Amino acid sequence: MHAIVAETPDRLTWQSVPDLTPSPGEVLIKVTAAGVNRADLLQAAGNYPPPPGASDILGLEVSGTIHSVGDGATHWSPGQQVCALLAGGGYAEYVAVPAGQVMPLPDGVELPYAAALPEVACTVWSNLVMTAGLRASQLVLVHGGASGIGTHAIQVARALNCRVAVTAGSRNKLDLCAELGAEITIDYRNEDFVDVVRGAGGADVILDIMGAAYLDRNVDALADDGRLVIIGMQGGIKAELNIAKLLGKRGGVIATALRSRPVGGAGGKSDIVARVVSDVWPMVADGLVRPVIGAEFPIAEAKAAHELLESGDVAGKVLLRVEE
C-alpha cells in the first residue's frame, strides 16, 4: 500500500509502506478521503509525536469502505461505508482502526465529505457537552469560528438552541460564521472580544484554541459559573492565572485532548464516538449540521494542503482525496 511519509515538514511524499492487516478488535478501512488537522502540521514538524502504539503516519480522521475486520469486530462487515476517528494513519490507502472508533456515515453526507466530520464532531461534542455541560439558552464563545472545529461548533450549539459568539480575523470568515448561526461575530483584529461578550452577559462556555495568549481575557469574558475549555495552544503554553478573578466568578478552567485518550472506558474515544453517533448524527440527518469544506487536494499534494491550513487563508475543513 501507499501512504504519505513525513520526512521533513517540507517533504511529504506518497510512497510504498508495509501492508496492514486488522488486529483483533480492529477494522481495516480502504480510505476515500482524509481530513487535515493542525495536529498533522505539528506532527510533521516533529512537535507532536503520536501516542504510544499509534501509527506514525499522519492523519486523524478518514472516510472510506471497510476492507476487512479483525476477530471480535462483530458490528462491522466488509463493504460498509464508514468514517472513523484515528490516533494516526489516515494519510494512506488503508488504515486499521479500533472498531469502537468507527462510525456509520450520517444520513445525507457523501462518502468523501464524511472525512471532515470525525475529529471536529468528537472534539466539539466531548468538550462543549460532555465536559462543559452546554445547554439550551446559554452563550458559548468559540474562538477561531471559521476553523473546522469552529464551523462545526457553531452549528451544534445552534442545534442545541444556544446563543453563539465567535472570533475570526476577516469579514469573509465572520460572514460564514453568521450564515452558520453565530449571533455575535467579533473581528479580533479590531474589536475586544471581552467587551463584546461582556455586553451580551458573559459567556457560559468558552471553547478556546489559543491557550496562553487568551487565558486572562477569557476569564474576564466568562459569566458567573462559566467554564473555559482549552483545546489548543496556538497562542503559547504558559500564562499567569488570576485565581481571585476565577473564584469571584465561581469559574472553571479545563484543558482537554482527544488524541491521547484511551480507546475504551468512560470518556474514552469509543465512548465519545458512540455519543456523537447517537446525538450529533441525527442533527446532520436533519440538516442542522453539515460538514463545511474549505478545500480539497489529491493526497499526493498533502504538502500544499498543509501550507494552506497553516496560512489561515481557508475556512472550514481541508480534505485529501485518495484516488481509486
Q: How confident is the model at residue 323, as a pLDDT?
A: 78
Q: How confident is the model at residue 324, as a pLDDT?
A: 65
pTM of the model: 0.97
The CATH number assigned to the domain holding 314 equals 3.90.180.10
Pick the last residue of a domain from 255, 278, 305.
255
Based on the fold, state whether residues 143 and 241 are members of the same structural domain.
yes
Q: How confident is the model at residue 9, as a pLDDT?
A: 84
Neighbours of 77 (CB within 10 A): 11
Residues 30, 84 contacting (CB under 8 angstroms): no
Q: How confident is the model at residue 10, as a pLDDT?
A: 85
In this structure, is residue 168 part of a structural domain?
yes
Pick the last residue of a domain from 211, 236, 255.
255
Number of domains composing the chain: 2
Based on the fold, state whether residues 38 and 109 are members of the same structural domain.
yes
Based on the fold, state whether residues 298 and 247 are members of the same structural domain.
no
Based on the fold, state whether residues 97 and 15 are members of the same structural domain.
yes
What's the rounded Cα separation, in Å, for the pair 48 and 40? 8
Q: How confident is the model at residue 193, as a pLDDT?
A: 98
Residues of the chain short of pLDDT 70, as ranges, are 324
Residue 132's identity, in one-letter code, is: A
What's the rounded Cα separation, in Å, for the pair 3 and 91? 6
Neighbours of 48 (CB within 10 A): 13
Nearest Cα neighbor of 30 from 73, 59, 1 is 1
3-state secondary structure 159-225: HCCCEEEEEECCHHHHHHHHHHCCCEEEECCCCCHHHHHHHCCCEEEEEECCHHHHHHHHHHHEEEE
**11 membership: H or E segment, kind and range:** strand 11-16
Q: Residue 42's domain spans which residues?
A: 2-117+291-321
In this structure, is residue 21 part of a structural domain?
yes
Which residues lie below 8 Å from residue 42, measured CB to CB, with a gap of 6+? 48
Q: How confident is the model at residue 250, as a pLDDT?
A: 98
What's the rounded Cα separation, in Å, for the pair 158 and 161? 5
Q: How confident is the model at residue 252, as a pLDDT?
A: 98
